[in-house]
């Protein structure tokens, strides 16, 4: 079967690839949105912490023989702890300053994290294979579905929807939303906002590390792997609009799919299509598709 | 002082100074509020009344002096701990959250540790039926009057018994102002301690037990309700009412 002169199976497999990339975009831009909302910091270190998640997964297996499933929980936890230290040590000093300082500080942290790992592991890829339970593929009749890719999409969706639910539908989320609007007043009501800020940063970067572990078997693990991705993710955030939870999830997935289809119809544009969309969105809706005009 | 000193002191402020960055806005405020009293802070625009309430909660910049809440010194505490001494704050700008529904706004301030039970949700909805009706609306979609009720109502749930209310009658229709006056009387009956900042002298006058007048970041006058008649000429001069 063909659609617009392309075989359906090719379309479907690009769609899946697009969804996989979109899942990473969604988790990463979700974390950025949560962090930006409460901390007012554009976390440039997000890409490096995503990479750290993947490298930790590799290190766990290489040095300690700890498998993928354990690292899927352990790596985000370790990165969350690192994030908590970063927030307590550095970020808390710059909240009152312009966004630029947060961007510069987290860019600096990115260079440090990437530099340290580069001096140990160089820049060539570290091998990591999918866990046995998820290797192989399932023949669905109309297409062959690689199990690991399906798992990535499923796990990302569960994490994104879970995060959305907690933020939009629970008491904890109400504190977070209120704290995003007016942290001083929430604090005056007796909520320990400084602690909430620290934990939110920890949670946001844990999401990045979770995406990193998910990506480990399908991406070249290297200290620089976060760099390319984070640029696209920032474009996703600009398109979706900073600060909207649902917006960042939908935009992430949507742009992944658009990228996938572009690969089928006009491969030359597949790496630039996101930026073209960003330019168009900025022209017509400067606050982003889901952002509120201020 | 009209109130006997044997009553508990709910709030005692001595030599309070406060800054916003470099600008020095409170220059040594002294103020006492006894348990169960309604005290009104009067003053012209910019006199420092809002800043006094904010300073109690640590919402200004630097502070100096002493702020005792039921005898506990709180001047060195971080903002999030101060509420737990039983303070409920209703800010001048109301502070209704737009990303929260009416009911989420109402339920937001946590129930304070170590304080008695506050009002139940049913009790609050009985007192403000409008809020019950609009419980699922976005907080900032409520009318000005409803938002004001919400801003006051949400601190009644927490068990706070020292209420700091900043210009709650400002810009509201007479019916709503009357409802708020009724609420203050009811709160007083229940034993709440209230510090109100008011521009609307006619709203505050029949409610308050005592008055403080501020000017340029200092208390310049203070008197009990019984002395109000005698002090009217002075007040007129200070406030231009
Ligand atoms: N965030 C701020 N930064 C700098 N100065 C401020 C700030 N808020 C208030 N001020 C200044 O502090 C002084 C006292 O203001 P405050 O808001 O306490 O007055 P107020 O008595 O509540 O008057 P009103 O509410 O009628 O304006 C004013 O001179 C005001 O300009
Ligand atoms: Mg004021």
pLDDT for B3 equals 40
Residue A63 to residue B166: CA distance in whole angstroms: 61
Least confident of A201-205, A285-289, B20-24, B138-142: A285-289
Average pLDDT over residues A257-285: 89
Q: Which domains does chain B have, with CATH numbers?
A: 9-239 (3.40.50.300)
Closest chain A residue by Cα to residue B95: A185
pLDDT tens for residues B83-114?
Answer: 999 999 999 999 999 999 999 999 999 999 87
Please state the pTM of the whole predicted model: 0.90
Mutant choice from B57, B88, B99 vs A, greatest count of A C-beta within 10 A? B99
pLDDT for B88 equals 96
Which residues line ion ligand 2, judged by CB < 5 Å?
B 50, 92
Closest chain A residue by Cα to residue B60: A184
Residue B241 has pLDDT above 80, yes or no: no
Closest chain A residue by Cα to residue B83: A190
pLDDT for B131 equals 94
ipTM above 0.90, yes or no: yes
Residue A178 to residue A192: CA distance in whole angstroms: 13
Q: Closest Cα to residue B147, out of B194, B91, B198, B196?
A: B91
Average pLDDT over residues A151-165: 94
User: Which ligand has an atom closest to residue B91 CA?
Assistant: 2
Decide which of A79 and B202 is more confident: A79
Instruction: Kindly give the pairing relationship between strand A2-3 and strand A6-7.
Output: antiparallel
Residue B42: CB within 6 Å of ligand 1? no
A185 Cα to the center of ligand 2, angstroms:
16
Rounded mean pLDDT of chain A? 90
Tokens linked to A144:
């062959």
Please give the DSSP secondary-structure letter assigned to residue A266.
-
DSSP annotation string for chain B: --S-TTSPEEEEEEEEEEEETTEEEEEEEEEEEETT-EEEEEESTTSSHHHHHHHHTT-SS-EEEEEEETTEE-TTS-HHHHGGGTEEEE-TT----TTSBHHHHHH-SPPPTTS-----HHHHHHH-HHHHHTTTSBGGGS-HHHHHHHHHHTTTSS---EEEEESTTTT--HHHHHHHHHHHHHHHHTT-EEEEE-S-HHHHTTT-SEEEEEETTEEEEEEEGGGHHHHHHHHHHHH--
A93 Cα to the center of ligand 1, angstroms:
26
Q: What band does B1 get if pLDDT is binned at 50, 70 and 90?
A: very low
Mutant choice from B61, B95, B154 vs A, greatest count of A C-beta within 10 A? B95
pLDDT for A294 equals 54
Residue B43: CB within 6 Å of ligand 1? yes
Residue A105 has pLDDT above 80, yes or no: yes
pLDDT tens for residues A168-197?
Answer: 999 999 999 999 999 999 999 999 999 999
Which residues in A have their CB inside 8 Å of a CB on B? 171, 174-175, 177-178, 180-182, 184-194
Residue contact A185–B91, C-beta within 8 A: yes
Residue A142 has pLDDT above 80, yes or no: no
Residue contact A191–B97, C-beta within 8 A: no
Could you tell me which residues come within 8 angstroms of residue A128 by beta carbon, excluding any fewer than 6 positions away? A54, A57, A58, A61, A216, A217, A221
Look at residue A189 and give its three-state secondary structure.
coil
pLDDT tens for residues A21-72?
Answer: 999 999 999 999 999 888 888 899 999 999 999 999 999 998 999 999 999 9
Could you tell me which residues come within 8 angstroms of residue B192 by beta carbon, excluding any fewer than 6 positions away? B36, B161, B162, B163
pLDDT for B78 equals 96
Tokens 């409920």 sit at which residue? B88
Q: Is the minimum CB–CB distance between B72 and chain A shorter than 8 Å?
A: no
Residue B216: CB within 6 Å of ligand 1? no
- Pocket probe mutation, ligand 1, options B26, B42, B50, B218, max atoms within 8 Å of Cβ: B50
Residue contact B80–A192, C-beta within 8 A: yes
């Amino acid at each position: 079967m063909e659609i617009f002169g392309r075989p359906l199976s090719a379309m479907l497999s690009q769609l899946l690839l697009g969804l996989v990339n979109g899942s990473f975009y969604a988790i990463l831009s979700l974390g950025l949105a949560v962090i930006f909302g409460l901390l007012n910091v554009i976390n440039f270190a997000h890409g490096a912490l995503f990479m750290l998640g993947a490298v930790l997964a590799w290190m766990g297996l290489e040095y300690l023989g700890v498998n993928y499933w354990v690292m899927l929980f352990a790596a985000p936890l370790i990165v969350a702890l690192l994030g908590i230290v970063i927030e307590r040590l550095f970020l808390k000093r710059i909240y009152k300053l312009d966004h630029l300082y947060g961007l510069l500080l987290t860019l600096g942290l990115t260079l440090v994290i990437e530099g340290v790992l580069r001096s140990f592991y160089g820049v060539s890829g570290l091998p990591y294979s999918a866990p046995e339970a998820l290797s192989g593929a399932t023949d669905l009749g109309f297409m062959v579905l690689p199990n690991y890719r399906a798992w990535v999409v499923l796990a990302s969706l569960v994490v994104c929807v879970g995060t959305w639910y907690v933020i939009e539908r629970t008491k904890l989320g109400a504190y977070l939303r209120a704290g995003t609007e007016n942290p001083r007043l929430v604090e005056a009501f007796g909520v320990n906002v400084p602690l909430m800020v620290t934990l939110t940063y920890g949670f946001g970067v844990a999401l990045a590390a979770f995406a990193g572990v998910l990506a480990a078997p399908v991406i070249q693990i290297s200290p620089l792997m976060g760099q390319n991705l984070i640029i696209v993710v920032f474009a996703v955030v600009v398109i979706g609009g900073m600060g909207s939870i649902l917006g960042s999830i939908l935009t992430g997935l949507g742009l992944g799919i658009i990228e996938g289809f572009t690969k089928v119809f006009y491969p030359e544009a597949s790496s630039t299509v996101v930026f073209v969309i960003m330019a168009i969105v900025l022209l017509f809706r400067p606050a982003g598709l889901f952002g509120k005009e201020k | 002082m009209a109130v006997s000193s044997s009553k508990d002191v709910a709030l005692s402020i001595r030599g309070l100074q406060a800054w916003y960055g470099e600008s020095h806005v409170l220059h040594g405020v002294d103020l006492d509020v006894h348990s169960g009293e309604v005290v009104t802070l009067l003053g012209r625009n910019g006199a420092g009344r809002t800043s006094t309430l904010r300073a109690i909660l640590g919402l200004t910049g630097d502070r100096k002096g002493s702020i005792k809440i039921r005898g506990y010194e709180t001047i060195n505490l971080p903002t999030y701990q101060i509420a737990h001494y039983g303070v409920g704050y209703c800010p001048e700008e109301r502070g209704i959250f737009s990303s929260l529904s009416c009911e989420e706004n109402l339920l937001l301030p946590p129930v304070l540790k170590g304080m008695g039970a506050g009002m139940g949700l049913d009790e609050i909805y009985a007192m403000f039926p409008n809020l019950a009706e609009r419980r699922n609306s976005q907080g900032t979609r409520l009318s000005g009057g409803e938002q004001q009720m919400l801003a006051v109502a949400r601190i009644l749930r927490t068990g706070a018994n020292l209420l700091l209310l900043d210009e709650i009658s400002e810009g509201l229709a007479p019916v709503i102002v009357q409802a708020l006056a009724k609420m203050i009387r009811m709160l007083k009956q229940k034993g709440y301690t209230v510090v109100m900042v008011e521009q609307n002298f006619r709203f505050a006058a029949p409610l308050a037990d005592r008055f403080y007048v501020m000017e340029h970041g200092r208390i310049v006058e203070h008197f009990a309700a019984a002395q109000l008649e005698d002090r009217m000429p002075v007040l007129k001069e200070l406030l231009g009412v």
